[in-house]
Amino acid sequence: MHFDTLAIHAGQKPDSATGALATPIYQTSTYAQDAPNVHKGFDYSRANNPTRKALEDNLAALEGVPYGVAFSSGLAAISAIMNLFKSGDHVVAANDMYGGTYRQFRQLYEKYGIAFDFVDASNADAIQAAMRQNTRLVWIETPSNPLLKITDIKAAADVAHANRALLAVDSTLATPYLQRPAELGADLVHHSTTKYLNGHGDVIGGAVLVKDKDLFEQLRFWQKSVGSVPSPMDCYLVLRGVKTLSLRMDRHNQNAQAVAEFLQAHPSVKRVIYPGLESHPHHALAQKQMSGFSGMIAVELNASFEQSMVFASGLKLFTLAEDLGGVRSLVCHPASMTHASVPREERLKNGFSDELIRLSVGIEDGRDLIADLKTGLDRL
């Protein structure tokens, strides 16, 4: 089946009890059993829940893999992946990633004895150079957050597998609609379902999609044992959001392309980073690896730090907030918001300036979004 059909039908049969077409919200903690450990596949909702199972099956189908595991947040999903490993293991990770992921790696898992090297993952040679005998995982984001670097997933997978390591891809900014990492060799595909998959700013959640049954069973064991599960209501809302994913992503792509081209032509703008622009250093790879460029833009202004902050705070349609991927446009100052946990010297070394502003372009009328940005730029 094609993507749009899977989004609506995968994992979502009419309810057997009533015929309801919308997946019911099974708001229950436990289930009646016919005899001890004889049940209909559900005994306790921390272990399994019908609404959550529908979401897991749906997301796995969209990624083209057999197994999905849903979590209470994107970071809970990352924690489950990291608990596949042990003290003494080594991870090669992208040096441009979501600040919460960096914080988890450096402040939690390093103290448990897992070592990390952070490299420019858009360069496969840099990944290879960082590999060690004890490397067990290569972790990449593509597009990355916030600099929107594009990593060659197949090349990264080849390096990881040649060194007997796994490749995990955070594909949150691309979604399964624009990018299919598992088809390019990824072993684990991570999503913050909070973002584009839900798309309406009313859920916190995460998911890991895998091809390998053993990895799946390890992740399910962690999910059950730790209890980092999403609520049935949150699963229902993500399922509802996924049904319109392709429609929304098409609009995000269209609006972001128009906004990026406008910003690139404006004299008050120093730099625009968007994979859909020919000026992006990885534009050709993005064209090859993705079917669209998503809705995220990074921008630096020809302005002082203080003026940049006034610009970010003064927009009307772009709301200043920490999130992305929703129908409503947002503006963020990563250095003081989403990436405040990344040390300044690390950010600057990786080309991430204090002045960088991140735009999450929503699905409003693109003409209104451009007018809002123009007004803000004209104030400068």
190: Cβ contacts below 8 Å, ≥ 6 apart:
74, 77, 78, 81, 168, 169, 170, 171, 172, 206, 207, 208
User: Minimal CA–CA distance to 96: which of 73, 122, 74?
Assistant: 122
Q: How many CA atoms lie within 13 A of 49 on its CB side?
A: 27
Output the CA–CA distances (angstroms, integers) from residue 78 to 26, 211, 313, 320, in the order listed. 26, 17, 31, 26
Q: What tokens were used for 332?
A: 């963020």
Query: Quick count: other Cβ atoms within 10 Å of Cβ 177?
Result: 24
Catalytic-labelled residue, pool 89, 96, 152, 170:
170
Q: How far apart are CA 130 and CA 163, in angstroms?
A: 11
Give bridge partners of residue 67 from the DSSP assignment.
210
Catalytic-labelled residue, pool 26, 52, 53, 98:
98
Q: Computed from CA positions of residues 163, 165, 170, 175, in that sequence, does the dihedral angle turn out positive or negative?
A: positive
**Backbone phi, psi, residue 345, to 5°:** -65, -35
Q: Annotated catalytic, 67?
A: no
Output the CA–CA distances (angstroms, integers) from residue 47 to 18, 30, 104, 233, 324, in the order listed. 24, 10, 25, 16, 30
Give bridge partners of residue 138 from the DSSP assignment.
92, 167
Catalytic-labelled residue, pool 4, 31, 43, 46:
46
Q: Annotated catalytic, 248?
A: no
Does residue 176 have a cis bond before it (omega within 30 degrees)?
A: no
Q: How far apart are CA 269 and CA 277, in angstroms?
A: 15
Q: Annotated catalytic, 98?
A: yes
Contact 300, 271 (CB under 8 A): yes
Contact 320, 329 (CB under 8 A): no
Catalytic-labelled residue, pool 52, 195, 251, 347:
195
User: Minimal CA–CA distance to 181: which of 327, 293, 262, 65?
Assistant: 65
Q: Computed from CA positions of residues 186, 192, 198, 199, in that sequence, does the dihedral angle turn out positive or negative?
A: negative
Q: Pairing mode, if any, of strands 269-273 and 206-210? A: unpaired
Q: Annotated catalytic, 195?
A: yes
> What residues act catalytically?
46, 98, 170, 195
